[in-house]
Amino acid sequence: MAVSGGKAIFINGHDVSAVEKNATNIAELLFKAIDYVGPSNVVQVVTDNAANCKAAGAIIQRKYNHIFWSGCLAHTLNLLMKDIAKCEHPSLSFVDETYKRGKAVVKYIKNHSACQSLFKSFSSLELLKSKKTRFGHHFIVIQRLVKVRASLVSMALSKQWEYLRRTTSAPDQHDIVQQTVLDEDFWRKSERVLKITKPIYKMLRFSDTDKPIIGEVYEQMDMMLGTIKDILSNDPVVCDLIHERVVARWDKMNIPLHCLAYVLVPKYYTNSWLSNPAAGGVRRRKPHVDSEVQKGYLEAIEKMVVDPNEAAVIRLQISNFVSNKGVFSQPQAVTDRATMTALSWWHLYGGVAPELSAIKCDKIEKREKEHSTKNWLHDPREKRGEIQ
């Protein structure tokens, strides 16, 4: 699947059930897709975060120096949620404990038709038994449990529930479910799990799309982390534990292309944007001022542009863009920075800087969709959840 300007195009599919999923074989399949699209039209190849896919990305980058490989952002965020759930630190172990208890409630009710029928008599919403392959399944399962809490409690206190205990073949499990549903501590912890993981899940939903969002990734990740810090302002231990895991995942997936795309988003230079503090109370700055971002976008230009003279022209054009010089200083261009999408703005005002505009409009927005690979191909919409 290829994505250009937010439009997804199915290229082809392959039956690889009998093929070893090593780096060489994965790279060969991706090379076929790249050749079909045209190497000059491909800037980014996005795959699963697995080691074999990462190695395949390295093979592709050796052949095509201008192409970036990165792991799927949505998959990375899903792994982050798993990192948090698996954390054995005493201050964070409640996440996994709560999820397992909630999962046991869902499993028991869903696997026993009589219990399921009884639950439906108390609730218009069904319990969700989310697959592990679905992004954010921890959040999805607990979110629905909390939503139907009153129905679960009413069911567990009903005479019908007591009758089912006398007829079930698993009375011990029946009792455990009842104890969990009536346990105030379980619900307090469930609410806390949702509170902590909701910013990550919202970011996951934001990233699991066909739209050209690469320029938004850097800022959105910062906002996600800032929101988590706000939520955990009174719990520095848990805040530090989650911060460490967020940064570890971000460091693995962040590539220079994210920095270049971030620098070229017009709205991040508007007074309306800069005057409002970011999540966490941090004062916003123009993207190019950040030393890490500056290092990244310069590396991206060097990788994408072979001609040193053209690269020098592009750097000068970036300077004019971030400084509002030349045509970029026109009142209409300044006003539209706050309201237009980055792609629309560059289509309208980028003509004066054709080299830079070509990178933004024809290169960065022509990229592989950020998706997770299942047998190297799947419909990413299968993994989407709903946040309410």
Q: Strand 44-47 and strand 68-71: pairing?
A: parallel
3-state secondary structure 229-262: HHHCCCCHHHHHHHHHHHHHHHHHHCCHHHHHHH
201-237 pLDDT tens trace: 999 999 887 777 889 999 999 999 999 999 999 999 9
| Residue 222 and residue 167 share a domain | no
| Residue 23 and residue 119 share a domain | no
For the chain, the average pLDDT equals 88
Contact call for residues 373 and 48 (beta carbons, < 8 A): yes
For the beta sheet containing 2-4, the strands, ordered from the edge strand earlier in sequence to the opposite edge, are 7-9, 2-4, 366-367
* Total domains in the fold of the chain: 3
User: Which residues does 273 contact at the CB level (< 8 Å), separation at least 6?
Assistant: 267, 284, 338
Q: How confident is the model at residue 150 (pLDDT cuts 50, 70, 90)?
A: very high
Kindly state whether residue 12 falls inside one of the protein's structural domains: yes
| Residue 48 and residue 150 share a domain | no
Domain final residue pick, 38, 71, 104: 71
Domain final residue pick, 139, 161, 195: 195
| Residue 92 and residue 50 share a domain | no
130-139 pLDDT tens trace: 776 567 888 9
Q: What is the mean pLDDT of residues 340-345?
A: 91
Residue 35, CB-side half-sphere exposure with 13 Å CA sphere: 7
Kindly state whether residue 214 falls inside one of the protein's structural domains: yes
186-200 pLDDT tens trace: 999 999 999 999 999
What does the pLDDT read at residue 363?
Answer: 53
| Residue 316 and residue 272 share a domain | yes
Structural domain span for residue 139: 81-195
Domain final residue pick, 49, 71, 93: 71
| Residue 271 and residue 179 share a domain | no
| Residue 344 and residue 226 share a domain | yes
pTM of the predicted structure, to 2 decimals: 0.85
Kindly state whether residue 387 falls inside one of the protein's structural domains: no
Helical (H) or strand (E) element with 273: helix 271-274
Kindly state whether residue 385 falls inside one of the protein's structural domains: no
Kindly state whether residue 378 falls inside one of the protein's structural domains: no
| Residue 354 and residue 215 share a domain | yes
| Residue 131 and residue 232 share a domain | no
Contact call for residues 67 and 38 (beta carbons, < 8 A): no
| Residue 240 and residue 172 share a domain | no
| Residue 328 and residue 214 share a domain | yes
Q: Which of 290, 301, 254 is nearest to 43 (CA)?
A: 301
What does the pLDDT read at residue 133?
Answer: 56
In the predicted model, is pLDDT for residue 295 greater than 90? yes
